[in-house]
Each structure stands twice: as C-alpha cells, then as structure tokens.
Amino acid sequence: MADLLVHLEPPYKVHISSSALEQMIVPHAVIVVIADEAVALLHAARVTALLEAAGSRVVLLPVPSGERCKTMGVMAEVLSKIAAAGLTRDSAIVALGGGATSDLAGYVAASYLRGVAFYVLPTTLLAMVDASVGGKTGVNLPEGKNLVGAFHQPSAVWADLSTLETLPSRTFKEGAAEAFKHGLLTDGALCDAILEPGFGAGSAKLEAVVAAAVQVKIDLVQRDPFEAGERAYLNFGHTLAHALEAVTLHALPHGEAVGYGLHFAALIGKTLGYSDLTTLTRAFLEYQRPAGLPNLEWRDLLAFMGRDKKADAGGLRFVTLQALGAPKLERVSGAVLEEAWKLFEDEFLR
C-alpha cells in the first residue's frame, strides 16, 4: 500500500492499494454513504458490511451517476434525507464513486451543520488521481461547471485499485487524462508510463502511476490550498474541457473533454512559440479515443469559457506550458486563441 500524507490542517492520508477498502477506518457512530447509483450496485454492500462490522450505523443514499448528481436539486434532496436520518455534527459523510460523486458528497459535508467529517472511497481513476484530493467540492449550474462549492478537505481517502477492474475501458481512460496532465506539469514520466502498451486497470505499474499522479496534486495543493496561485496549474486543459462539457450538456464525459482540452492547450502553447507538446497530447488522444465532437461554434464555447474560475476582472486566463514541467497562468489574445482553435478544428471538426 502507498500511504501519502497531505500536509494541510488537519493533515490526512491517501491510502492506495488493491485492498484499501478492507483496511479503511471511518471512526464515526453514524455514517451516510453517498454513492453513485451504478457503483452502489457493485460495491455498496461490501462497503456497508465493512462499516457496520466496525460498529457504525450506515445510511446508504444512491445518487444519479456522473454529472447528473451535481445539481442544486440533488444536493437539496440529499441534505433533507440526511437531516431526516438524524445526522449530528460527529457523524460522517462517505463518498463512494467517481469524481462527480465526491464533488457532491464533499459539498454536502461542507454544508450540513456547517461542516461534518468527509471520507472518500474513489472507484474511478479520475477520482483517485484528482477529485478525491485537495478539498474542492461543489455542484454545477446551467451557466457552467463547478460554479457553486466550497473547500472542504477529507479526513482520509481510501483508493482501492481493485474497483477499477469493474470499469469499462472507456471510463478508465477518462481518468488517465488527469494523470497524463500531471505528467505534463512535471517531467513527463507519467505521460510515458500511461502511453506504454498494456497500461490499464490490471497493469503491474498501476499503483505506482496512481501514487505518482496523486503526489503531483498533493504537492501543489499543499503550497496553495485555496487556489490563490499555482494550484490553478492543475486546470491545464480544463478551460476548453469545461466549455465542451457545458455546450454538449455533459454528453461528452469530463475525462474525454480534458483529453481534448490538453491538446487545445498544447496548440495554444505552440501558437505562442513555446515548446511543441502537441505530438504528446495527440498520442494521448490516440490512446484515449474520445467520442467525436459535434459541430461547435467558437463563440458558443467562448461564452462558457468566460465564466471559467480562472477568469478575473481583467478577463479570461489560460494555463499554458512553456515546456514540460513549466506551467504558466496568463492572458492569451483573442487572435492566438482563434488560431489555435482553427488548428483544433482542422483535426477534429472537419
């Protein structure tokens, strides 16, 4: 097992192994498990039995799968149910599922009684390497993704790699986009590992890749817990990605949108005269094989990008890479963005 310590206040650990669920500790008398409804069918009985065997009373609350759970309506419904279940401030919320589930459950935990303990049991690669660590929680609005939320750190993360074996290959590769992004933000070693033939849920190197990807996020979060500066680098590729999700009404899954977004960000860097990383990001898209894109209008995407959380009073900002491991948060001219978009269009929309 890899045990990674997150040095925040309070500190917590990310436990990564193929049997993490059997080793989890959630020391609370009453626990609400907020579970993706599809994941609940696969893993909820096991999780509930383990928690009850430790003496806890467990309330299971299935929620819609994926981004469909990240609405104010679902959140209000969940809050009402946990109030009816009699949760007190010393109770705990446990997220069981992917990144969307942990986003919702974390925001519920941050909001109920102004904050109760929160634990994450991620069951997708995306959730393990990204959403479960760092304390970002929230839901979406029709106007954009993750516009409502709070910072609320988990008390522990138990990432059981065996749960990844129940994922469709497409879903596993969604999460690989976030791990690949962490490779671009560092020395590229993670990128090479992901592009090796045979990388997948059963890979012998999986624990090492997950641990390395999580450590990249931990390092940035520790230096910038509230995204006042360099933590924004973790949004590399996400400005276009979130716009693609919004404009397709989330028909394009997050990880696949990120795959496209990484390539678009690399095209921006190339247009600006930085190191050309497009060969690397194109190779990732060939590995991931995301769904094709519908006909898209740049002005429609730009409207959603204008609401991106990296935007400030001066307007839109992008994370760019001057080279591998050399990210930068900067304003990019409309002319550069349009040139990069034309290159993107030529590859994927014509």
* Cβ atoms within 10 Å of 20's Cβ, excluding its own: 23
Per-residue CA distances from 92 to 47, 228, 296 (Å): 14, 29, 43
Same domain, 134 and 190: no
Q: What is the H or E stretch that residue 233 is in?
A: none
Q: Look at residues 116, 151, 166 and tell me which one is the last residue of a structural domain.
A: 166
The 8-class DSSP code of residue 294 comes to -
Q: What is the mean pLDDT of residues 161-174?
A: 96
Helices 169-184 + 206-223 axis angle, to 10 = 50
211 and 118 within one domain: no
Kindly state whether residues 313 and 210 are assigned to the same domain: yes
Residue found by looking up tokens 């959603």 in the block: 304
* Cβ atoms of residues 344 and 267 within 8 Å: yes
pLDDT in tens, 237-270: 999 999 999 999 999 999 999 999 999 999 999 9
For residues 147 and 246, state if they share a domain. Answer: no
Q: Over the stretch 189-230, which tens digit does the pLDDT of each residue have? A: 999 999 999 999 989 999 999 999 999 999 999 999 999 999
Is the domain of 195 the same as that of 334?
Answer: yes
Q: How many domains does the chain have?
A: 2
What is the span of the domain harbouring residue 11? 2-166
Query: Do 147 and 187 lie in a common domain?
Result: no
* pLDDT tens-place string over residues 95-115: 999 999 999 999 999 999 999
End-to-end CA distance of the chain: 47
- Please indicate, yes or no, whether residues 159 and 179 belong to a single structural domain of this protein: no
**Do 159 and 259 belong to one domain?**
no
How many angstroms separate the CA atoms of 348 and 350, rounded? 6
Last residue of a domain, one of 166, 197, 223: 166
User: Per DSSP, which regions of the chain are E strands?
Assistant: 2-6, 12-17, 30-36, 57-63, 92-97, 117-122, 136-141, 144-151, 156-160, 318-321, 327-330
From 149, 166, 183, the end of a domain falls on: 166
Q: For strands 144-151 and 156-160, give the pairing.
A: unpaired
